[in-house]
Structure 1
Amino acid sequence: MRYRRTMTATDVLAPRDLLRTRLVEVAADLLATKGPEGVTTRSVAHAAGVQAPMIYRIFGDKERLLAAVAEHGFAHYMAEKRPLDADDDPVENLRSGWYLHIGFGLANPALFRLMNTALLTPDGQRIADAGGDVLRERVRRVARAGRLRVADQRAVDLIRAAGTGVVFTLIDQPEAARDESLADLAWESVCSSILTPASDSGDAITPAPAAAAGVAALTLRAALPDLTAFTDAERALLGDWLDRLA
């Protein structure tokens, strides 16, 4: 299913904001149906029922219009993310986020490419950063469960690089010949790199003593921000020791 507008209550916006929203939505629809080459100032203006100079008055230039489309895409992407639930299995929660990312990219290939290549507006960057924060929290929950075997930032970087790389690879393939099993193989590879093994019951398998010390350090490191028994200086020092152990 292609990306479609989900905004409501636009009637409360000022006329200029309403027109800006309309132009962004029109540009997003043209991007989805006609590709990047179909998004010109003339085509957007014509579809929105305004004169082309209006786009320049509102956005400044076409690049800023595209940046606003990317921002709108990030907002839609964030709206699809499941809220974090403390009772969720942390590894399953991480996996669901992976497949949401892949699915969004395959459903919105031109928009996904724009979101990952456009120079973002400040609001767009803020929303994109919020998405990164959700991923970091998912990874921290895996660490707090004793299932993370690498530093949380390394896990975040690997997941983001692998996930976005898989989407770009798949959307560059002809749709009829697309190998969507690549997403499964990539996820398995990521898991083998960042997670401790699990038994058939789903519980973590106890690693060798040296490796166990590293996993324990990562687990405690993830919980460190919530430990109130330490001063900020003590927490920083302990964090440094745990990083060295991990």
Structure 2
Amino acid sequence: MNTADKAREVIVKAATGLLASSGPDAVTTRSVAIAAGVQAPAIYRLFGDKNGLLSAVVEAGIGEYLAAAPAGHACADPVDDLRAGWDLAVEFGLGNPALYTLAYGGPGDLTSAAFSASMEMLMRRVRRLAAGGLLAVDEGLAVLIIHATARGAVLTALSIPAGLRDPALLTTMREAMIAAVTNRRPAVPQSGPAGAARALRASLAGQTTLTAAEVRLLRQWLDRLTARTGAEGSD
């Protein structure tokens, strides 16, 4: 690695740390130069401007995610492999909120090497579904649906305070995606205990038999039943 590459790596690492700890507004030329132990002109020389630096940070972050992703198929079943890949992408987004929002919160750079590599990895999963006769829509549309649901799930979850997020949101969005692009039935059940619990919970507002305390307790039980049943269905 030559001197310029080493300097680039140090600067990107410093900018990544500032982004993760304090958000994009903290990634200024001055703050990055101080954190990286370099002069500000070096940043301009290597990246052009702040936007060029942020693009390099996104490229490096997604590159690390792709490098850590399973090289082969995580599951023998292509549909389960798609689930695993979707979950992995969502987990990455939730674990790296500032980086993910920077990469996918706006139009983004669709020509970047990292984005192209991530879409190719997704396309391989889709082609595997197609080869197994499991794909319900065109390959290109399937890729867009999968990407859109994962992106939407992460950005929606990140817009909600962590303590108020409902885990069922991610499971339900994932299974809606599975139902849309494959010919498999979704793992989230639509009937049985969970369906009955949802129906009963919806009717609680109009009842006059139970006390307020009893209603709160019953609602807690119904919430646990629907959440538990949904989790079991997605195993």
Aligned pairs for 1:1-246 (under 5 A) are 13-85=1-73, 88-116=76-104, 117=106, 120=109, 125-197=112-184
> Would you say the 8 A contact 1:67–1:121 is kept in 2?
no
Structure 1 pair 22/127, CA: closer, same or farther in 2 (3 Å)? same
Instruction: Summarize deviations over 1:141-175 as a string: whole Å, max 9, x none.
Output: 11211211111111111010111011001111112
Does structure 1 retain, via aligned residues, the 8 Å contact 2:146–2:177? Answer: yes
Partner of residue 221, structure 1: none
In 1: Cα distance, 2:167 partner to 2:97 partner: 14
Change (3 A) 1:113 1:79: same
1:97-125 deviations in Å (ceiling 9; x for gaps): 00001000000000011222475496xx1
Q: Tell me if the contact between 1:41 and 1:52 (Cα under 8 Å) persists in the aligned partners.
A: yes
**Ranges in structure 1 where 5+ consecutive residues have no aligned partner:** 1-12, 201-246
User: Per-residue displacement from partner, 1:41-69 (whole Å, max 9, x unpaired)?
Assistant: 11101111122222112211111011110
Contact 1:71–1:120 (CA under 8 A) maintained in structure 2:
no
Q: 1:100 to 1:86 in 2, by over 3 A?
A: closer
Number of matched residues? Answer: 186
Structure 1 runs (4+) deviating above 6 angstroms are none
What is the alpha-carbon distance in structure 1 between the residues aligned to residue 184 and residue 75 of structure 2?
Answer: 21
User: What amino acid sits opposite 1:194 in the alignment?
Assistant: V
Q: Could you say what secondary structure the match of 1:88 adopts?
A: coil
Question: In 1, distance between residues paired with 2:186 and 2:180?
Answer: 17
RMSD: 2.2
Q: Offset at 1:196?
A: 1.1
Structure 1 residue 197: deviation in Å? 3.0
Q: What is the distance in 1 between the residues matched to 2:162 and 2:180?
A: 29
Moved more, 112-121 or 38-47: 112-121
Query: What residue identity is the alignment partner of 1:192?
Result: A
Code of the residue aligned with 1:153 in structure 2: it is G
Q: 1:86 and 1:98 mapped to 2: Cα distance? A: 11
Which secondary structure does the structure 2 equivalent of 1:70 belong to? helix
Counterpart position of 1:233: none
CA distance in 2, matches of 1:86, 1:75: 19
Distance 2:178 2:186 in 1: 14
> Taking every aligned residue pair, what percent have the same amino acid on both sides?
41
| TM norm structure 2 | 0.74
* Contact 1:68 1:121 survives alignment (8 Å): no
How far apart are residue 84 of structure 1 and its match?
A: 2.5
Deviation at 1:95, TM superposition (A): 0.6
Q: Counterpart amino acid of 2:100?
A: F
1:121–1:85 distance in 2 versus 1, CA, 3 Å: closer
1:191–1:106 Cα change, 3 Å: same
- Choose between structure 1 and 2 for higher RCO, CA contacts under 8 A separated by at least 6 residues: 1
Q: Which amino acid aligns with 1:166?
A: A
TM-score between the two structures when normalised by the length of structure 1: 0.70
